[in-house]
């Protein structure tokens, strides 16, 4: 057990630092919006949607409809559907842990599960579950720490909301560098910019997403062909 925990901790250490800082930023923003550490714990435990949690904060204040929140969550996190398809058989083999593995799948967890080479003496199922659980705990810890800091220490948090923008920029750069075809990224940039100019900052996301999906589907064969050649 000690060797298992040590292996999982060392593999998830980079995510620990990333999630602590991002989680603290989320907790601070949540506390600034009037929600305490209990809210931070509950949201990070039961929502656990990364960037969507940042988007959720203004929704809480404006009393947005459930349908709006559902559509926004789907548009932001729909990529996890494709992540999950590649691991569905392995997740099923974990038995009762299967639902949790689906729930806890994030970009970072997916990357770790794909890249981790498991020693023969360790149980693959336990390693997979441990990676998912540890990363979840890291995010919860960061969120609660941020909310507590916001309650205990009074300081100017102006500009901290840029953490969400920085998160999306980092994700975009990583995807750009790792992707074999840049057509999806270019489609997203162009559709987002055009939609922003036409519909304004409050209504551009859904039209941009729909337009980008149409372009990507139209270019599907070209994208797949480039991936095969590379």
pLDDT at 82: 67
CA distance 230 to 225: 9
Confidence of residue 182 (pLDDT cuts 50, 70, 90): confident
pLDDT at 116: 80
Query: Average pLDDT, stretch 29-54?
Result: 89
pLDDT at 127: 92
CA distance 154 to 205: 34
pLDDT at residue 228 tops 60? no
Tokens of 95: 């038995």
Tokens of 174: 């990583």
Residue 54 burial (C-beta neighbours within 10 Å; 0-12, 13-18, 19+): buried
Mean pLDDT, the chain, whole residue set: 81
Tokens of 51: 């960037």
pLDDT at residue 137 tops 80? yes
Query: Average pLDDT, stretch 196-215?
Result: 79
Residue 78 burial (C-beta neighbours within 10 Å; 0-12, 13-18, 19+): exposed
pLDDT at 72: 76
The structure's pTM equals: 0.70
pLDDT at 202: 63
Sequence spans of domains, the chain: 2-157, 179-230
CA distance 124 to 138: 21
Tokens of 81: 């559907």
Stretch among 18-27, 85-94, 168-177, 191-200 having the lowest mean pLDDT: 168-177
pLDDT at 75: 72
What percentage of the chain exceeds 70 in pLDDT? 83
CA distance 143 to 148: 9
Tokens of 104: 């806890």
pLDDT at 186: 84
pLDDT at 159: 64
């Amino acid at each position: 057990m000690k060797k298992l925990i040590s292996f999982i901790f060392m593999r998830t250490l980079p995510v620990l630092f990333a999630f602590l800082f991002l989680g603290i930023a989320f907790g601070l923003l949540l506390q600034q919006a009037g929600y305490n550490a209990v809210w931070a714990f509950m949201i990070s435990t039961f929502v656990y949607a990364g960037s969507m949690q940042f988007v959720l904060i203004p929704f809480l204040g404006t009393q947005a409809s459930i349908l709006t929140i559902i559509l926004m969550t789907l548009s932001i996190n729909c990529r996890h559907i494709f992540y999950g398809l590649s691991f569905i058989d392995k997740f099923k083999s974990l038995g009762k842990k299967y639902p949790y593995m689906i729930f806890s799948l994030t970009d970072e967890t997916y990357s770790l599960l794909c890249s981790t080479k498991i020693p023969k003496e360790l149980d693959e199922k336990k390693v997979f579950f441990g990676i998912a659980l540890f990363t979840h705990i890291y995010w919860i810890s960061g969120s609660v720490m941020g909310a507590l800091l916001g309650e205990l220490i009074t300081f100017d948090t102006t500009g901290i909301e840029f953490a969400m923008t920085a998160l999306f920029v980092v994700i975009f750069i990583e995807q750009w560098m790792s992707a074999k075809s840049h057509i999806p990224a270019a489609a997203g940039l162009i559709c987002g910019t055009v939609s922003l100019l036409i519909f304004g900052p409050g209504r551009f996301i859904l039209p941009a997403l729909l337009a980008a999906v149409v372009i990507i589907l139209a270019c599907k064969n070209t994208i797949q062909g480039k991936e095969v050649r590379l």
